Amino acid sequence: MTPTPRSTSLNADRRLRDLEAVAEGTAVDLLVVGAGVTGTGAALDAASRGLSVLLVDRHDLAFGTSRWSSKLVHGGLRYLASGDVAIAYESARERDLLMRRTAPHLIRSMPMLLPLHAQVSPGQAALARTGFAAGDLLRAFARTPAGVLPRSRRLNAVHTRALAPGLEATGLRGGLLSFDGQLVDDARLVVALARTAAWHGARVVTRCSAQELRGDGATLRDELTGQTLEVPARAVVNACGVWAGKLASQVRLRPSRGTHLVVPASALDHPHAALTVPVPGSVNRFVLALPQMGGRVYIGLTDEPVDGIPDVPRAPESDITFLLETVNRALHRPLTRDDVIGTFAGLRPLLDTGERGRTADVSRRHAVLVSDDGVVTAVGGKLTTYRAMAEDAVDAAVRTAGLPAGPCRTTRLPLVGAASRRTLDEVSGPDSLVARYGTEAPRVLALAEGRPDLLGPVAAGVTGAELLFAVRHEGALDADDILDRRTRIGLVPADREEALPFVESLCAGV
Ligand SMILES: Cc1cc2nc3c(=O)[nH]c(=O)nc-3n(C[C@H](O)[C@H](O)[C@H](O)COP(=O)(O)OP(=O)(O)OC[C@H]3O[C@@H](n4cnc5c(N)ncnc54)[C@H](O)[C@@H]3O)c2cc1C
C-alpha cells in the first residue's frame, strides 16, 4: 500500500487517495471504526507506535457524543465523592497531561463557583469545602501546579458577586471557588487528534461506514459513492460510542441523555466563573452555567434514560424547563425560554452493568471488551480520559492479534497546534484564534492574505479564514462539517442561518 504523506492536513483529495489505497486490498495492522474522541485517540496511539492504521467514520469527525459534552476536562472530584479513588486519580492525571503537555492550547483553567444561598445549608457547604480540599489533593498528586489550576477557596459575598454579577444577592453568604479545565471546544480536540494521527501515517476516511466487523477485517461502505469495500485488518477496534452495540452484539449499553442550553452571557450579566447550582432534593447533582468564549453560556445538564439512538439527539422541552428552573434558583433575574438561543443534547455511552437504578448511577469507568472473534470494543469513560482508554484499547488489540507494536507514546505526544503556555502567549494573532488553533493561528490568518473577505467574522465571531482552513486542512467535506463540527456556529440556529450562504459559496469555490 502506498505510504501516506507526512502531513497533518485532511481534505477531500487526501480522503480519495486514502480510499484508493484501501481499495488495493492490502491488510492494515489496525482498523478503527468511529472517529469520536475514543477512535481518534486509538488511531493516534496505534499510528504513533508504528502500526499501519485506517480510521473510518460513518459521518464526520466528532459526529457523535464527543461534540455534545460539557467541554470540561474534569479532575475527577465526583468520583472521589463516590469513593472511586482510582478513577478520580486517572482523571486528574489525564487532565494534567492535557493541560500541560498534549493540548494546552485547547484548554484553559475555569473558575467554578458554588454560591452559598439558603438552599445550601452550612452542613452542605462544609461538605462541599471538604470535597474541594480533596480535589486540591488530587491535583497535587497529579502534579498540576497551582499556577495552572489554583487552589480552591471560600469567597465572601462581595467577591462572589464580582465573579458572577447575575447572582441573587439576597441571602448570599459567599461562595466556594474551585478550578477545573475547560476545552475551547470538544470537537476541536477530536479534529486535533485525527490530524495528529494523520501526521503519524493514519489514513482517516470520513463518510465511510462499517457494515460488519470481524476480528480480521470489515465490510465498509463509502457513503459518498455507495461502493462497498472488503478491508482486511490484523486487528479491529470498535469505537462507535452509543452505536457500538450495533456492531458487537455482546456489548450492552444504557444510553442516557444530557441536554445543554445556549444563552447569551448578557442574560447572566456576563459571569467570569461557571456557576454550580445544586439540584433540589439531590446531594451530588448540580446544574452548571458555563461561560464560553464569544459571549455565550452553556447551561447543563440533564441525565435521562432514553430508548432508541438517533443520529442527532434533540433536547425535549421537559429538559429545557428543568435546566431553567434549577439555574434560576441562584439568579437575580430569572432566565426565560426567550433567553434560550440554542440547545444541544448528547447520549452518554454508559455500559449496562446489569445493575438496577438510574443511568446516572451506572459507572463512568471505561471498558475494553474483546469478542470471541477478536474485535476489540472500547466504550464508556469520559472525554477527559480518552487517552488512557485509547491506550487500553490498542494494548488489547496488540495482544489479541500479536501485532509488532512498540509501547504507548501518547503521554509525550503534543497534538497539532500545542505548545507551552509561554510559547502560546507569543504566537501572533487574536487571542480567540490562538485559543482555537494554538501555534497554527498564523497559518489560519495567512489564508486571508489578499482576501480581505476572509478576515471578518462570518457569524459568532468565526472568520472566513477559519472556514477555509477547515476545508483545506481539517477534513471538512461540506457545509454541515464546517458549521457543526469544525466551528460551532451551528449551535445557535440564527447564527447558522447567517453563515450558511457564505459557507455554501466557499464550499462551491474550493
Ligand atoms: C451530555 C454529555 C456531557 C458530557 N460532558 C463531558 C465533559 O464535560 N467532560 C468529559 O470528560 N466527558 C464528558 N462526557 C462524556 C464524553 O463526551 C463521552 O464519553 C465521549 O465523547 C465518548 O466518545 P466516543 O468516541 O466513545 O463516542 P462518540 O463521540 O459518539 O463517537 C462514536 C463515533 O462512531 C461513529 N459511528 C457509529 N457507527 C458507525 C459505523 N457503523 N461505522 C463507522 N462509524 C460509526 C459515529 O458517527 C461517531 O462519530 C459527556 C457526555 C455527555 C453525553
Q: What pLDDT score does 360 carry?
A: 44
CA distance 117 to 128: 13
| Mean of pLDDT over the chain | 94
Whole-prediction pTM: 0.97
Contact (Cβ atoms closer than 8 angstroms) between residue 108 and residue 291? no
Buried b (16+ CB within 10 A) or exposed e, 385-420: bbbbbbbbbbbbbbebbebebeebebeebbbbbbbe
Contact (Cβ atoms closer than 8 angstroms) between residue 150 and residue 179? yes
382, 392, 480, 481: residue to mutate for ligand 1 pocket, most atoms within 8 A of CB: 382
Q: Is the CB–ligand 1 distance for residue 255 below 6 Å? A: no
Q: Is the CB–ligand 1 distance for residue 67 below 6 Å? A: no
CA distance 487 to 460: 9
67, 191, 240, 314: residue to mutate for ligand 1 pocket, most atoms within 8 A of CB: 240
Q: What pLDDT score does 163 carry?
A: 98
Q: Who contacts 145 (Cβ-Cβ below 8 Å, separation ≥6)?
A: none
Classify domain 109-180+254-351 at the CATH topology level. Answer: D-Amino Acid Oxidase; Chain A, domain 2 (3.30.9)
Q: Who contacts 127 (Cβ-Cβ below 8 Å, separation ≥6)?
A: none
Q: Is the CB–ligand 1 distance for residue 382 below 6 Å? A: yes
pLDDT tens-digit readout, 107-117: 999 999 999 99
**pLDDT of 359 strictly over 60:** no
Q: Is the CB–ligand 1 distance for residue 48 below 6 Å? A: no
Q: Which atom of ligand 1 is nearest to the CA of 72?
A: 8
Q: Is the CB–ligand 1 distance for residue 434 below 6 Å? A: no
Q: Is the CB–ligand 1 distance for residue 39 below 6 Å? A: yes
Q: What pLDDT score does 5 carry?
A: 65
The protein residue with its alpha carbon nearest to ligand 1, atom 4, reads 69
Cell of 268: 447572566
Q: Which atom of ligand 1 is nearest to the CA of 40?
A: 25
**pLDDT of 361 strictly over 50:** no
Query: Cα(191) to centroid of ligand 1, in Å?
Result: 13
383, 385, 386: residue to mutate for ligand 1 pocket, most atoms within 8 A of CB: 383
CA distance 78 to 137: 14
Q: What percent of the chain is predicted at pLDDT more than 70?
A: 96
Query: Cα(283) to centroid of ligand 1, in Å?
Result: 27
Query: Cα(373) to centroid of ligand 1, in Å?
Result: 25
Instruction: Name the H helices within 155-292.
Output: 157-163, 186-199, 244-247
- Three-state SS for 123-151 is HHHHHHHHHHHHHHHHHHHCCCCCCCCCC
CA distance 7 to 484: 24
Give the angle 165-171-176 at the CA atoms, nearest 5°: 60
Q: Is the CB–ligand 1 distance for residue 381 below 6 Å? A: yes
Query: Cα(446) to centroid of ligand 1, in Å?
Result: 33
**pLDDT of 357 strictly over 80:** no
Query: Cα(66) to centroid of ligand 1, in Å?
Result: 4
Instruction: Provide the pLDDT confidence category of residue 350 given band limits of 50, 70 and 90.
Output: confident
**pLDDT of 87 strictly over 70:** yes
Query: Cα(223) to centroid of ligand 1, in Å?
Result: 20
**φ, ψ of residue 93 in degrees (nearest 5):** -70, -45
- Three-state SS for 334-400 is CCCHHHCCEEEEEEECCECCCCCCCHHHCCCCEEEEECCCCCEEEEECCCCCHHHHHHHHHHHHHHH
Between the CA of residue 106 and those of 231, 366, 413, 489, what are the distances in Å? Answer: 35, 23, 15, 18
Q: What is the mean pLDDT of residues 11-27?
A: 94
pLDDT tens-digit readout, 226-241: 999 999 999 999 999 9
Q: What is the mean pLDDT of residues 344-352?
A: 89
22, 44, 65: residue to mutate for ligand 1 pocket, most atoms within 8 A of CB: 65
Query: Cα(237) to centroid of ligand 1, in Å?
Result: 15
Q: Is the CB–ligand 1 distance for residue 384 below 6 Å? A: yes
Query: Cα(159) to centroid of ligand 1, in Å?
Result: 37
Contact (Cβ atoms closer than 8 angstroms) between residue 271 and residue 164? yes
Q: Is the CB–ligand 1 distance for residue 191 below 6 Å? A: no
Nearest one of 95, 102, 84 to 417, comparing CA atoms: 102
pLDDT tens-digit readout, 376-410: 999 988 999 999 999 999 999 999 999 999 999 99
> Quick one: CA dihedral 483, 489, 493, 497, positive or negative?
negative
Which residues are registered as beta bridge partners of 204? Answer: 55
Query: Cα(35) to centroid of ligand 1, in Å?
Result: 9
pLDDT tens-digit readout, 409-426: 999 999 999 999 999 999
Query: Cα(64) to centroid of ligand 1, in Å?
Result: 5
Q: Is the CB–ligand 1 distance for residue 347 below 6 Å? A: yes
Contact (Cβ atoms closer than 8 angstroms) between residue 155 and residue 163? yes
Q: Is the CB–ligand 1 distance for residue 178 below 6 Å? A: no
Query: Which helix (H) or strand (E) element contains residue 182?
Result: strand 175-183
Query: Cα(174) to centroid of ligand 1, in Å?
Result: 37
Q: What pLDDT score does 2 carry?
A: 61
Query: Which helix (H) or strand (E) element contains residue 445?
Result: helix 441-446
Instruction: Provide the pLDDT confidence category of residue 355 given band limits of 50, 70 and 90.
Output: low
pLDDT tens-digit readout, 255-301: 999 999 999 999 999 999 999 999 988 877 899 999 999 999 999 99
Query: Which helix (H) or strand (E) element contains residue 38?
Result: helix 37-48
**pLDDT of 83 strictly over 50:** yes
Classify domain 12-66+187-253+362-412 at the CATH topology level. Answer: FAD/NAD(P)-binding domain (3.50.50)
pLDDT tens-digit readout, 68-77: 999 999 987 7
Cell 501572533 belongs to residue: 428
Q: Is the CB–ligand 1 distance for residue 38 below 6 Å? A: yes
Instruction: Provide the pLDDT confidence category of residue 509 given band limits of 50, 70 and 90.
Output: confident
Domain ranges in the chain are 12-66+187-253+362-412, 109-180+254-351, 421-509
User: What CATH number does domain 421-509 carry, 1.10.3430, 3.40.50, 3.40.1130, 1.10.8?
Assistant: 1.10.8
**pLDDT of 196 strictly over 50:** yes
